[in-house]
A and B are shown apart, each in its own frame.
Chain A
Amino acid sequence: MQTKLVLIALLFLAVNIAAGAESDARFFGGDGDGHGGAALEHARSLDGGPQVSLWSASLRTFLWTDADVALEPVSIGAWEPLSMVTNGGVLKICVPSSWQCRFDPDAVIAVGGVAADKIGAPSFATDGRALLLPVSEDFAAGDVVTVTGLKIVDLHLCRAGTRWLELFFTDGAVADVYDECWLQSRVLLFGGSYDHWGTATSDPSVFYVPGGSIISVR
């Protein structure tokens, strides 16, 4: 009888093993489950050229009627500059080419970031449509400069839509890199009802009656 019970237990165990145990790693758990990922922090080119990025701190929306708009800090990062950002060159940040706005030439510009000491005194060019950052030392991988204080004016010359700041660091006619955040111009024109025309009529009037007296009747 005892031998019979052992055989039954072994058979039950074998069946359980075949069906899958209820307390193995498949049923264990912890925190932070279910999702993981990684992404490039900034845009990279796929053409084998230099890896340089331009990014503003955030998106910026403005009305075309605004007198000016202060831009978020804008950064330039060199991940694999491939000797394209070198001493004697210029990093040129431009307003969107299809808008006629320009940078405020009176804005106080500051340059920061780990590579700030590789940039000379900034200046505006092309009637304020470009900010020039002269490079005084070759950029290395991981170099970042951040420009603060930029403003744009003449927003009334911007059509409604979304555009991007442009960065030139080669001699090309088109931008090498576009801002990763957009500028959005909103052109709003409001209206109501009962529009446009008003009229009013006076009662008959004279301008002057001689005398200036007061008559009282009791």
Chain B
Amino acid sequence: MDKVSKLALCGTLFAAGLACANNLQVTNVMVSQRDETTAYVTFDIAWQNAWRFTNINHDAAWVFFKVRQEATTDWRHMILKGSGINPPGYSNGVGTAVDLIVPDDRVGLFVRRAEEGAGTLAVTNVMAVWDLAALGLTQASRVHVRAQAVEMVFVAEGAFAAGSGGSEKDAFTLTTICTNDVSVAPSGSGALGGAAGGYPTGQTAPNLSWPNGYGAFYCMKYEVSEGQWVDFFNLLTDAQKVNHDITGKHGYGGKNSDGVVSRNTVAWTSGDATTLARDQACSYLAWWDGVAIADWSGLRPMTELEFEKACRGTLPPVANEYVWGTTSISATTSIVNDWTGAATAVGGNCNYKPCAPHGPFRVGIYATATSSREEAGASYWGILDFGGSLWERPVTIGHATGRAFTGEHGDGELTSSGQANVAGWPGGDSVGAGFRAGAYLYDAHWTRTSDRENAAAVYAPRCPDYGFRAVRTAPAGVTP
């Protein structure tokens, strides 16, 4: 019997991808030759309940890539080539019609529906262009590429109300934020209540680059999950891992256990960290940890004005409203199919103090195939788990360090110790950051959109009710 083997060397080698079984799935990552300084990176992507309503907003996947040269240990951040909506050389793949949106800093790309619609988005052979030279690579380099995708929600440009006019503690005086010029002092009468200006009445104007929420941005749909955290952690160097070990007790502290503590299931002693609940919101994240994963992902922290816009949308405020726009809240009594990825809540629309079990739940647990905004505990735009669960950590307007924040994005690279190193971000001591929207350990009133009792509170250590969620300013020209 003749035995024939052929080795085809056609200038391109292909690589099969490995995928995690997430609802948002990115698979079949491949690289291929393009020219001397660039290469193609190809992938498939799919997720359910994707939407685009051009009169409101859309969701999108923020896709970015990490590269490791063979025989090295460090994962570097991939810089793409070209920018804009569907840049030249990119391919939108086969399947659901999608747009590829590459921001000017080229650290990743958004994938969104190209057309009006809702339902499952599934597209294969999406092709982006990789700037090899940006990392000092050549065509002869041999690499591993890892694609990461996180679901984001578009928050459209427009005026919004800061403060509800209710009785929330330390809330903003109701003000209509009507311009992205943050130096405009509130005056007159705003369309959504209170005076109108670039920052809330009674506050100090921040620096001119401070994102005041008027402009469009993308916000992570969910808080950082344990799976997301572990995937980030496992690509760090050993030195960086030590400093982001939430299972330890040093540095910023942690749960001091590799077992399950307050429902956090992350374990690590060496090598790769593990989790029993990939889809559960990740607790014990200090500000230091949160900004690290934001920088590493090419994202940034949100400001507390962006937080209120992300909750309330462009609607007039309801006094004392929760993040889903009403003053009704209900508690969960138990979880079914816990830690399976398909966990469901028995009752409730918010994970706050009266809920059982006590601790974070699966991200997005209240959204179902038929849920209303209130039932899903969703913000106006469809962002989930803002209220309760784990504390949101916005940059505050209530402290000079917070007001110095410029909204720069992470570049995907951390310091050798694992520290976020973006100019203008509050540092690891968390001065300039704060807390919003309550947590599972707290009563209902903390979960209100405009409650600011801890908006400028400084507390750096890791705690069982601390999580993180990041945003990214929308590239110019991107509309709902």
- Which of B3, B8, B19, B371 touches A200 (beta carbons < 8 Å)? B19
Q: Which residues of B contact A191 (CB under 8 A)?
A: 49, 364, 366-369, 371, 376, 384
**Cα–Cα distance between A190 and B11 once the two chains are bound (Å):** 45
Q: Are A207 and B325 in contact (CB under 8 A)?
A: no
Q: Are A194 and B23 in contact (CB under 8 A)?
A: yes
Q: A188-B373, A201-B18, A202-B15 are in contact. Are A156 and B3 (CB under 8 A)?
A: no
**Cα–Cα distance between A65 and B51 once the two chains are bound (Å):** 10
Q: Are B17 and A209 in contact (CB under 8 A)?
A: no
- Least CB distance from B260 to A in Å reads 20
Residue of chain B at shortest CB distance from A194: B23
- Does A110 count as interface, using CB distance less than 8 angstroms? no
Mark out the residues of chain A between 19 and 35 whose CB falls within 8 Å of any chain B CB in the assembled complex: none
Q: Are A194 and B144 in contact (CB under 8 A)?
A: no
- Does A154 count as interface, using CB distance less than 8 angstroms? yes
- Which of A192, A209, A218 touches B4 (beta carbons < 8 Å)? A218
Q: Which residues of A contact B10 (CB under 8 A)?
A: 212
A-B contact count (CB 8 A): 226
Q: A217-B4, A218-B3 are in contact. Are A197 and B149 (CB under 8 A)?
A: yes
- Least CB distance from A87 to B in Å reads 36
Q: Are B279 and A196 in contact (CB under 8 A)?
A: yes
- Does B142 count as interface, using CB distance less than 8 angstroms? yes
Q: A188-B372, A212-B10 are in contact. Are A100 and B145 (CB under 8 A)?
A: no
- Does A206 count as interface, using CB distance less than 8 angstroms? yes
Q: Are A206 and B55 in contact (CB under 8 A)?
A: no
Q: Which residues of A contact B239 (CB under 8 A)?
A: none
Mark out the residues of chain B between 26 and 66 whose CB falls within 8 Å of any chain A CB in the assembled complex: 26-34, 39, 43, 45, 47-49, 51, 53-56, 61
**Cα–Cα distance between A65 and B313 once the two chains are bound (Å):** 14
Mark out the residues of chain B between 157 and 201 whose CB falls within 8 Å of any chain A CB in the assembled complex: none
Q: Are A202 and B31 in contact (CB under 8 A)?
A: yes
Q: Are B49 and A190 in contact (CB under 8 A)?
A: yes
Q: A195-B222, A203-B16, A207-B141 are in contact. Are A216 and B56 (CB under 8 A)?
A: no
> Mask for A77-107, Cβ within 8 A of B = 1, else 0?
0000000000000000000000010000000
- Least CB distance from A206 to B in Å reads 5
> Mask for A170-201, Cβ within 8 A of B = 1, else 0?
00000000000000001111111111111111
- Least CB distance from A208 to B in Å reads 4
Residue of chain B at shortest CB distance from A215: B7
Q: Which residues of B contact A36 (CB under 8 A)?
A: none
**Cα–Cα distance between A218 and B14 once the two chains are bound (Å):** 25
Q: Are A197 and B49 in contact (CB under 8 A)?
A: no
Q: Which residues of B contact A206 (CB under 8 A)?
A: 13, 139-143
Q: Are B150 and A209 in contact (CB under 8 A)?
A: no
Identify which of A64, A100, A206, A211 gathers the most chain B CB atoms within 10 Å of its CB: A206
Q: Which residues of A contact B12 (CB under 8 A)?
A: 207-208
Mark out the residues of chain A between 146 and 166 whose CB falls within 8 Å of any chain B CB in the assembled complex: 153-157, 159-160
Q: A191-B384, A194-B279, A206-B141 are in contact. Are A200 and B17 (CB under 8 A)?
A: yes
Q: Are A200 and B49 in contact (CB under 8 A)?
A: no
Q: Which residues of B contact A214 (CB under 8 A)?
A: 6-9
Residue of chain A at shortest CB distance from B156: A156
- Does B360 count as interface, using CB distance less than 8 angstroms? no
> Mask for B329-366, Cβ within 8 A of A = 1, else 0?
00000000000011110000000000000000011101
- Does B323 count as interface, using CB distance less than 8 angstroms? no
Q: Are A65 and B363 in contact (CB under 8 A)?
A: no
> Mask for B368-385, Cβ within 8 A of A = 1, else 0?
111111101010001010
Q: Are A199 and B147 in contact (CB under 8 A)?
A: yes
Q: A209-B9, A214-B9, A216-B6 are in contact. Are A193 and B23 (CB under 8 A)?
A: yes
Q: Which residues of B contact A192 (CB under 8 A)?
A: 23, 48-49, 364, 367, 369
- Least CB distance from B25 to A in Å reads 5
Q: Are B19 and A189 in contact (CB under 8 A)?
A: no
Q: Are A205 and B143 in contact (CB under 8 A)?
A: yes
- Which of B5, B8, B145, B227 touches A201 (beta carbons < 8 Å)? B145
**Cα–Cα distance between A169 and B118 once the two chains are bound (Å):** 42
- Does B132 count as interface, using CB distance less than 8 angstroms? yes
Q: Are A195 and B279 in contact (CB under 8 A)?
A: yes
Q: Are B17 and A202 in contact (CB under 8 A)?
A: yes
Q: A191-B368, A206-B13 are in contact. Are A156 and B49 (CB under 8 A)?
A: no
Q: Which residues of A contact B151 (CB under 8 A)?
A: 195-197
Q: Are B45 and A194 in contact (CB under 8 A)?
A: no
Residue of chain A at shortest CB distance from B373: A187
Q: Are A196 and B30 in contact (CB under 8 A)?
A: no
Q: Are A205 and B15 in contact (CB under 8 A)?
A: yes
Residue of chain A at shortest CB distance from B228: A197
Q: Are A196 and B27 in contact (CB under 8 A)?
A: no
Q: Are B369 and A208 in contact (CB under 8 A)?
A: no
- Does B264 count as interface, using CB distance less than 8 angstroms? no
Q: Are A199 and B20 in contact (CB under 8 A)?
A: yes
Q: What would be 28 A-B contacts, judged by CB atoms less than 8 Å apart?
A: A65-B53, A67-B55, A186-B372, A188-B370, A188-B371, A188-B373, A189-B373, A190-B367, A191-B384, A192-B367, A194-B279, A194-B342, A195-B23, A195-B151, A195-B279, A198-B45, A199-B19, A199-B22, A200-B147, A201-B144, A202-B31, A204-B143, A205-B14, A207-B31, A208-B140, A214-B8, A216-B6, A218-B2
**Which residues from chain A sit less than 8 Å from chain B, CB to CB?**
64-65, 67, 100, 153-157, 159-160, 186-209, 211-218
Task: Beyond A154-B55, A207-B32, list 4 extra A-B contacts (CB 8 Å).
Answer: A67-B53, A67-B54, A188-B370, A193-B279
